[in-house]
Chain A
Amino acid sequence: MITSAAVAIAEARIGRPGNSVYSGRSRAIIERAYLAFRSSVWIVVATGFLEPVMYLFSFGYGVGKLIGKIEVLPGHYISYAAFIAPALLATSAMNGAIYDATWNVFFKIRFDRVYQGMLATSLGPMDVALGEIGWALLRGLVYAIAFMSIIAGLGLITTPWALMAIPAAVLISFGFAAVGMAVTTYMKSFEQMNVINIVMLPMFLFSGSFYPLSIYPGWLQAFIKALPLWHGVALIRSLSLGMISASLIPHVIYFLVMIAVGLFFTTRRLTQLFMR
């Protein structure tokens, strides 16, 4: 009988649910991303971290001078920089995840044929989806920790609950990466890919990042509250200010749904693209 280590490893998973799309080896994909990352251009890596820091300084301290204090709760005032810092963390989690899970993935699907190579092995499409997204999360985690260290150093953090903003940022990254990758698998051209950017920028500007949502009319508030970034901003801002309550649960559920829907469609679409 023909046997090799590779066959034994694959056969050990026979009978597990979903074993035709998932082999439990998404960490091999993360390992690949790390090997490729080692030779990547450091300036690109650094911008992911520097972008929110630059926003913090220009808006937080520049515009913040003109604005003064902001009332977040009746009688509870914080500096403008402290107000936007959580929003910038949520946004950088979103941007980092979207960059890794959309443009990078788009290139691999359309031009690189890397996924064809992966899927010719005993890996499944869900390994690829989880691995690519997992890598985006790792990067997001590092960025989140770096950004938190900076704002802590600037004295913008006043409660230990703010540490919870780091896992929250990872959750947000996960949601955006899963949906972003799913959308990317349907994209055929660069023009279509640009639509993603067109959606991202206004979402960043209008999701309550720079001012409270209460200045909008009711119908617009309702619309913004349906968008994912608002949930991210609200979640991280509450955690950073130590405002912990059951009202945070819907935000978490929103992202869990994004993750589930994103993973489902990514796996299905990768199967269609490379295994049909």
Chain B
Amino acid sequence: MAKGLTKKYGEFIALNGIDFSVQKGESFGFLGPNGAGKSTTMRIIASTLTRTSGDITVLGKDPEVSGPEIRAHLGVVPQQDNLDQALSVSDNLYIYGRYFGLPRKFIRSKIDELLDFAALTDKRDSKVEALSGGMKRRLTIARALISEPKILMLDEPTTGLDPQARHILWDRLFRLKEQGVTLLITTHYMDEAEQLCDRLMVMDKGSIMAEDSPSGLIKKFSTKEVLEVRFGSDRNAQVAEKLKTLCERMELLPDRILLYADDAEKVLDEIHKIGLHPVTSLVRRSSLEDVFLRLTGRTLVE
């Protein structure tokens, strides 16, 4: 879908010639820290931002030439809610359908269905201001669905939500995926990416670091297990040299040391054997966080 996609703001390069493609029905994630270029990419796809150079086609069309037709295919959930504060919950859905030119009768029947989907039926006449963060997010998603889009674009859908609200949202997105809606999601949450995405593109500073399925990425860039040990912030660096030989790869972080190995328990045994006793130790499976750390040398949520 995209080739050599570049966006510059003056001297600043927001996107540095990225290539990627997304298949129909797929759930595709853009993973990276703030400023990686995720939202920029999303906005270019949604034809609300022009590119500096490179090519991109959405459903076979160039967003800069066929903006309105492409936008008619998309449901967009932006990073910051842009619900209409002056209108009620159901009017927000209604008028959004009107923006797409949909007939009133069609919208009216669709509203009931979407309010039900978003679990907002009893809030239909409330003002938007009165909704909680999670409710606003669900309403924004419901609003994006009024035109029955086959591609839903979600820019950091659960940032700022409490765990319960996130799980409700994930459930709704999962249902959409089952109905065959293509999902494009940006996130800087690992668990979100693992839960929702079939395929992931790890981005940093406007470039693609890697692209694969979540498990594929872990297999490719990390070991099966990780051992996290802490010796206290002063001693971590001292003992690190001695630990290096015990595992496949080591990351020294300010607060802890990560040791990558297929059998982390065995590594812990060996640490004890050479006479070192970490304050705390934790054996866990590798996660996308480890992949990200490997690829960029830093953690994702700082």
Contact = CB atoms under 8 A, between A and B. Distances in A.
B49 A25 contact: no
A123 interface: yes
Given A5-B147, A28-B101, A122-B99, A35 B91 contact: yes
A36 B150 CA distance: 30
Interface residues of B, number: 41
A117 B96 contact: yes
Q: Which of A23, A28, A120 has the most CB of B within 10 A?
A: A120
A10 B68 contact: yes
Nearest to B71: A122
Nearest to A36: B86
Contacts of B82: 112-114, 116-117
A7 interface: yes
B68 A13 contact: yes
A118 interface: yes
A31 B69 contact: no
Contacts of A35: 86-87, 91, 94-95
Contacts of A276: 49-50
Interface residues of A, number: 35
Interface stretch (B12-20, B72-80, B225-233): B72-80
Contacts of B49: 275-276
Contacts of A117: 78, 82-84, 96
Interface in B36-77: 46-50, 59, 65-69, 71-74, 76
A250 B129 CA distance: 48
A4 B69 CA distance: 11
Interface string A122-142: 111000000000000000000
Interface string A236-276: 00000000000000000000000000000000000000111
A112 B148 contact: no
B99 A112 contact: no
A112 B80 CA distance: 11
Interface string A1-28: 0101111011101100001100101001
B85 interface: yes
A9 B147 CA distance: 11
A65 interface: no
Contact of B147 (A11, A14, A39, A121): A121
A114 B84 contact: yes
A36 B87 contact: yes
Nearest to B143: A117
A6 B72 contact: yes
Given A117-B96, A122-B101, A10 B80 contact: no
Given A5-B148, A6-B149, A114-B84, 15 more contacts: A5-B102, A6-B101, A7-B69, A9-B101, A9-B102, A25-B99, A25-B101, A35-B86, A36-B87, A113-B80, A117-B96, A120-B76, A124-B67, A274-B48, A276-B49
29 contacts: A2-B24, A4-B148, A4-B149, A6-B73, A6-B100, A6-B147, A6-B148, A9-B100, A10-B68, A10-B72, A11-B72, A23-B68, A28-B98, A28-B99, A32-B87, A32-B98, A35-B94, A36-B86, A113-B78, A113-B80, A116-B78, A120-B46, A121-B99, A122-B99, A124-B68, A275-B47, A275-B48, A275-B49, A275-B50
